[in-house]
Structure 1
Amino acid sequence: MKLSPLAAQFGTVTLCLLASPLVLAEDTTTLDEIVVTADRKARTVDETLAPVSIITRADIEKYQANSIPDVLRHVPGINLSNSGGMGKATFVFMRGTNSSHVLVLIDGIKMGSATTGSVALEDLPLAQVERIEVVRGPRSSLYGSEAIGGVIQIFTRKGGKDFQPEISISAGSNNTQKANVNLAGGNTTTWYNLNAGTEQTDGFNATANNKEPDADGYERDSVALRAGHRFANGTDVDVSLLQAQGNNDYDGAFGNQGEFVQQAVNGKLRQTLGNQAVLTAQLGQSKDESDNFKDGDFKSRFNTTRTTATVQADVQITSNSSLTVGIDQQNDKVDSNTTYDVTSRDNTGMFSSYQHSIGATQFDVSARHDDNEQFGKHTTGGVAVGRDLPNGMRVTAAYGTAFKAPTFNNLYYPFSGDASLQPEESRNTEFGVSGKAALDKVRWSANAFSNNIDNLISYPPPTYKVSQTDKARIQGVELSAGTQLAGWEVNTNLTLQKPENRSGVDAGNNLILRPERLASMDIDRDLGKFRVGATVRGESQRYTDTANTESKKLAGYGTLDLRADYQLAKSWTVGAKLSNVLDKDYQTNNGYNQDGVNGLVTVRYAPK
């Protein structure tokens, strides 16, 4: 597939959307919803100029999703690479960028391992999630390192409306068992939410080579707490804690069992100053801890702690202009039985953004300067313009730079690290058009992007020592639309992308584990006490080596999931989901199996 010239294809698909807006797909976003992540402050989806998808608690329950990676499959531009089922290492690729190029936040706190640079989304409990916001495209000019491909922010459940208990129990294939209790409550000024859950599965044989033909199980216990109060003087205080810990069985030459802890702690103070300004101070800490064993013998420990502090001011200058300024302080620490030359580093980032509207035209400008103890200073910026057109249409154009700081493994891992590495850098250009009609019952959008990345970090054979000579260019088009059709809610999306290596002997080849075509469709219908739905997902082939060897590529695949739930009584609901109904045999990571036909039944009690 060739995407060049990109403008020609973008024009073609845009005309197709204009001519037939019901054909292609929209994500879960409703256009009047409030989004926080795109601009680091509350704005409606109509106001922000970035492509945004919002996944609500209602969406999670409707899809009967089993994990955070599972629900992210419904978002345009995202493909996953999973290493053998529930709880196994899962990498999220957004718009063809590396999995480490996606910034993940929980209630505003940066997550991730400082050694690997990845976030163990598979270990975070979906039952404790209220909402997920996904912003596609660079956001380093607001958040600093990692946001080359985009940002995923997870909000924990909050409460705030009387006392609302909820209990759910699930059982299904591979002896999967889940239980969760959620207690929420409050009023217009006070909110609280306490959640505790446990889940386990026997799993299945994760690897396809059958060298260890045993089932690879997974266990996780989790707890979350969030509480806050709004005082009469305009001060809001909000605190939250999320922790998950458990065991994971896997197949590997150097280990076959791991113990993990994922934790995020957050405290936020928000002060409203009249009608013109809001001052926010936030302090948080995240932990990624992993102990690894081989047949019961301890092998390695990699524990990282990230402590962050932020002060931010949002000022409404006039009715048509607003300004945001702030400063972030971050410290990363490593505790490991592997010797690192450096085990701690600090980063200070100062950022600002300005929004201004002139009639139907809106301008956004943002800039950030980071000063890192290891790699020095780095400046990023972004500019976007949007224009509202008649008949509910809007056109946008944006340009942004972004970077990714080298990890402790990149810099200091024995025998393979290089302390002289510089940040990976990107330049992204984007054009978009969107529209809504029939009282917002029809929604559609198209976005074209071109992202050039320099200083890509890789580990080429035969030495597998870190290298920083690679370049990449990722061009793509995202199409989405949604509507109500004969009583059915239809949401579908299509992504066409070319994630291309642009340097060395592999120039012109695709980046590994990234398909060129992604498509999904969700169809749901509410029949009173009974609700039914289906998801169709398809991805094209992907390569597993930089040389794009035909014999090593993974075939494309398509899957079908069916779901239904029934309200047994006022407070009781039973739901059933059957995944991979066609029993498709496929892989998303080389050598690792995916589950065949599998099912899960959930009974939920939520007094109304």
Structure 2
Amino acid sequence: MKLRPFAAACGTAFICLSVCPSVLAEESTQLEDVVITADRKARTVDETLTPVTVITRKDIEKYQATDVAEVLRRVPGVNIVNSGGVGKVTSVFLRGTNSSHVLVLVDGIKIGSATVGSVAFQHIPLEQVERIEIVRGPRSSLYGSEAIGGVIQIFTRKGNEGFQPRLMLQAGSNNTQAVNATFAGGDKATWYNVSIGSERTSGINAQTNDATGERDGYERKQAAVRVGHNFVNGVKVEASVLQADGSSAYDSPPVVSYTDDFVQEVLSGKVIAPVGSKTIVTAQIGKSKDASDNFRDGAFISRFVTNRETGSLQADVQLGTAGNLTVGVDQQEDKVDGTTNYTIKSRKNDGLFASYQHDFGKTDVEVSARRDDNEQFGKHNTGAIAIGYDVSDNLRLKASQGKAFRAPTFNELYFPNNGFGGGNPNLKPEQSKNTEVGLDGKWANGKWSVSAFDNKIDNMISGWPAQNTAKAEIKGVELGASTQLAGWDVSTNLTVQSPKDKLTGKPLTYRPKQMASIDVDRQFNRVRIGTTLRGESKRDWDDSSMWPAIERKQLPGYGTVDLRADYALAKDWTVGAKIGNVLDKDYQTNSGYNQDGINGLVTLKYAPK
């Protein structure tokens, strides 16, 4: 299936929506939704000068999503590469950048593996997620390394006043079973949320060349706790813990069976205190763990563990009636452990950052800068500037330019040479410079947005042993809008991009040039129905099966259709059903790895109102 007609349909839908007076923001169904990630402090979507998408708990439940990747697919500029179904390695590419170019936070704490440089999105339990904020574009001037493509922040669930127990039961294709129980509540001063759950599935046959047809299963147990208290003097404190552990099976045909036993942990403690009437100070400490034990035919073969400790101190100061200053310091220490004998097993990074926003009436200006000092690669400076101009009350023009970087991973720097190459301790950080213009429009009931960007990346790390030999340029346009048509909620987005290797002129692998999605939903009293259409164009990949010779090949484009419905059985009970890939499309997002065909899931929820 070619994507061009599909993309054209989405483009036409966008144009139609953009002239409709009831357009709603693609970022959120709430016009004044507050986001934290874009500027490291609470601001409304309208105030921020960088593209941001907010996925709420309401969105997650409406789409009957079961994993983080499923909801991220709806974000402009995001494409997902999955290696064989539920629980298998899942990479997120944002605006054509590498999966290692996305900074990921959970409740403000940086997560991920310091050895491979990516985040195990497949292990993050979506049922424990309250909200996801996705900032598109470079934010190293506020967050440091990795924020070349953008920042994704995941917030765990909170409690509200009163007592809110919840129960979720699921059963579906591939012997899928899941259960999650939550106890949340609080009063005017204190709130809490405690959640536990488990999931298991027989999975699908992950690899296309596995002739045995054996399924590759997945199981996970998870728990989350988040508590907070608001003191009468305005001081707020909160703490959170998120843990997931389990096992994922995968094969290497014809006879070898592998299993990955994993642990993902995030701990956070935060204090927010007003100092006088114009200053708020935030202090946070946290720790994250990414651990993986690998087995071959039941025998242990390797272990990789990342332990990351972070701390930050930040002050937000109101300067006059139109200025806002943020200054802060971050500290991070990564430690790696396991069966691999890295020559260096830990490193520290100190970051000092500042940003200033000023409102000149119709014009808003934001300037930010950061200096990172890493004990391995030394000092690195980044900065950004953004300008917003109100062309009219309903139309805003935005322009920005920002620099970002990514520090080399422990594998790239210190992996021992086993006869096939190893790490390179002389690597320099990757560097990028992004230029962007955007236009946001709104009417009485909503918004639409268009953004065009040009991101140049130098000193890209490639090859093995790793070298700073690659360069890339990624140009693209993102469009997004949503509206109500004849009682139907319709949202759509379209991304057209050109991610290229500047030295060879070839497209970067696994990046489609076109991506589009449409969601259509409607409420009929106690029944809600909906559908999702998603499509991506063809993309290149490098076949290294005859290594060291590498042949460039292509994966075909694809389109999928999902159907969903839910019914309110009673005041507190809801049953939902979803059919995924209803056309039973055979496609791959990662060469050599299957995706699920037509599949079904039934969900029963208890949530007192």
TM-score by length of 1: 0.94
- What is the match of residue 520 of structure 2? 523
Amino acid at match of 2:433: R
CA contact (8 A) 1:411 1:419 kept: yes
Aligned pair partner of 1:443 in 431, 440, 447:
447
1:433 aligns with 2:404: no
Cα distance in structure 1, aligned partners of 2:266 and 2:512: 32
- What is the match of residue 3 of structure 1? none
Query: How far did 1:552 drift?
Result: 2.4
- What is the match of residue 599 of structure 2? 598
Amino acid at match of 2:337: D
CA contact (8 A) 2:542 2:551 kept: no
1:108-507 map, 5 Å: 108-211=108-211, 213-252=213-252, 256-415=258-417, 416-437=422-443, 439-440=444-445, 442-459=446-463, 464-503=464-503, 507=504
Query: How far did 1:391 drift?
Result: 4.4
- What is the match of residue 572 of structure 2? 571
Cα distance in structure 2, aligned partners of 1:293 and 1:376: 37
1:583 aligns with 2:584: yes
Query: How far did 1:213 drift?
Result: 2.9
The structure-2 alpha-carbon separation of the partners of 1:346 and 1:255, relative to structure 1 and needing over 3 Å to count, comes to: farther
Q: Deviations over 1:396-445 (max 9, x none)?
A: 000000000000000001122100001000000000001111x22x4210
The structure-2 alpha-carbon separation of the partners of 1:604 and 1:349, relative to structure 1 and needing over 3 Å to count, comes to: same
Q: Deviations over 1:27-57 (max 9, x none)?
A: 5453310000000000000100010000000
- Secondary structure of the structure 2 residue equivalent to 1:61: helix
Amino acid at match of 1:309: G
Amino acid at match of 1:144: G
CA contact (8 A) 2:522 2:528 kept: yes
- Secondary structure of the structure 2 residue equivalent to 1:50: coil
Q: Deviations over 1:529-563 (max 9, x none)?
A: 11011000000001112999997210000000000
- Secondary structure of the structure 2 residue equivalent to 1:232: coil
Cα distance in structure 2, aligned partners of 1:20 and 1:183: 42
Q: Deviations over 1:311-340 (max 9, x none)?
A: 000000111001000000000000111110
Gaps of 5+ in 2: 1-11
- Secondary structure of the structure 2 residue equivalent to 1:435: strand
- Secondary structure of the structure 2 residue equivalent to 1:32: coil
Query: How far did 1:14 drift?
Result: 11
- What is the match of residue 534 of structure 1? 531
Q: Deviations over 1:102-133 (max 9, x none)?
A: 00000000000000000001101000000000
CA contact (8 A) 2:57 2:131 kept: yes
Q: Deviations over 1:61-94 (max 9, x none)?
A: 0000010011101111000000000000000000
Query: How far did 1:494 drift?
Result: 0.1
- What is the match of residue 553 of structure 2? 552
- What is the match of residue 69 of structure 1? 69
Cα distance in structure 2, aligned partners of 1:218 and 1:180: 17
The structure-2 alpha-carbon separation of the partners of 1:349 and 1:387, relative to structure 1 and needing over 3 Å to count, comes to: same
For this pair of structures, how many residues does the alignment match?
Answer: 588
Query: How far did 1:17 drift?
Result: 7.9
Cα distance in structure 1, aligned partners of 2:193 and 2:13: 45
CA contact (8 A) 2:22 2:484 kept: no
Query: How far did 1:274 drift?
Result: 3.0
CA contact (8 A) 1:164 1:183 kept: yes
Cα distance in structure 1, aligned partners of 2:397 and 2:174: 48
Cα distance in structure 1, aligned partners of 2:211 and 2:91: 24
CA contact (8 A) 1:34 1:43 kept: yes
Cα distance in structure 2, aligned partners of 1:557 and 1:241: 38
CA contact (8 A) 1:24 1:480 kept: no
Cα distance in structure 2, aligned partners of 1:562 and 1:476: 30
Amino acid at match of 2:442: K
The structure-2 alpha-carbon separation of the partners of 1:606 and 1:24, relative to structure 1 and needing over 3 Å to count, comes to: closer
Cα distance in structure 2, aligned partners of 1:14 and 1:123: 34
Cα distance in structure 2, aligned partners of 1:576 and 1:275: 51
Q: Deviations over 1:558-591 (max 9, x none)?
A: 0000000000000000000100000000000000
Percent identity, please.
59
Query: How far did 1:390 drift?
Result: 1.8
Query: How far did 1:210 drift?
Result: 1.7
CA contact (8 A) 1:212 1:251 kept: no
- Secondary structure of the structure 2 residue equivalent to 1:250: strand
Query: How far did 1:212 drift?
Result: 5.0
TM-score by length of 2: 0.94
Gaps of 5+ in 1: 1-11
- What is the match of residue 7 of structure 1? none
The structure-2 alpha-carbon separation of the partners of 1:423 and 1:598, relative to structure 1 and needing over 3 Å to count, comes to: same
Query: How far did 1:607 drift?
Result: 1.2
Cα distance in structure 2, aligned partners of 1:29 and 1:109: 27
Cα distance in structure 1, aligned partners of 2:552 and 2:378: 43
1:43-54 map, 5 Å: 43-54=43-54
The structure-2 alpha-carbon separation of the partners of 1:339 and 1:520, relative to structure 1 and needing over 3 Å to count, comes to: same
CA contact (8 A) 1:123 1:244 kept: yes
CA contact (8 A) 2:269 2:285 kept: yes
Cα distance in structure 1, aligned partners of 2:402 and 2:15: 26
- Secondary structure of the structure 1 residue equivalent to 2:232: coil
The structure-2 alpha-carbon separation of the partners of 1:211 and 1:338, relative to structure 1 and needing over 3 Å to count, comes to: farther
The structure-2 alpha-carbon separation of the partners of 1:45 and 1:28, relative to structure 1 and needing over 3 Å to count, comes to: closer
The structure-2 alpha-carbon separation of the partners of 1:429 and 1:22, relative to structure 1 and needing over 3 Å to count, comes to: farther
Amino acid at match of 2:579: L
The structure-2 alpha-carbon separation of the partners of 1:16 and 1:501, relative to structure 1 and needing over 3 Å to count, comes to: farther
- What is the match of residue 9 of structure 2? none
Cα distance in structure 2, aligned partners of 1:275 and 1:156: 30
Cα distance in structure 2, aligned partners of 1:16 and 1:431: 22
CA contact (8 A) 2:331 2:349 kept: yes
Query: How far did 1:169 drift?
Result: 0.2
CA contact (8 A) 2:14 2:492 kept: no
CA contact (8 A) 1:25 1:494 kept: no
Amino acid at match of 1:425: Q
Query: How far did 1:474 drift?
Result: 0.1
1:543 aligns with 2:548: no
Q: Deviations over 1:270-318 (max 9, x none)?
A: 1012320100110000000000000000010000100000000000011
- What is the match of residue 5 of structure 2? none
CA contact (8 A) 1:472 1:500 kept: yes
- What is the match of residue 6 of structure 2? none
Amino acid at match of 1:426: S
Amino acid at match of 2:536: E
Amino acid at match of 2:301: K
CA contact (8 A) 1:349 1:370 kept: yes
CA contact (8 A) 1:543 1:549 kept: no
CA contact (8 A) 1:475 1:498 kept: yes
- What is the match of residue 8 of structure 2? none
Amino acid at match of 2:522: R
CA RMSD in angstroms, aligned pairs only: 2.0
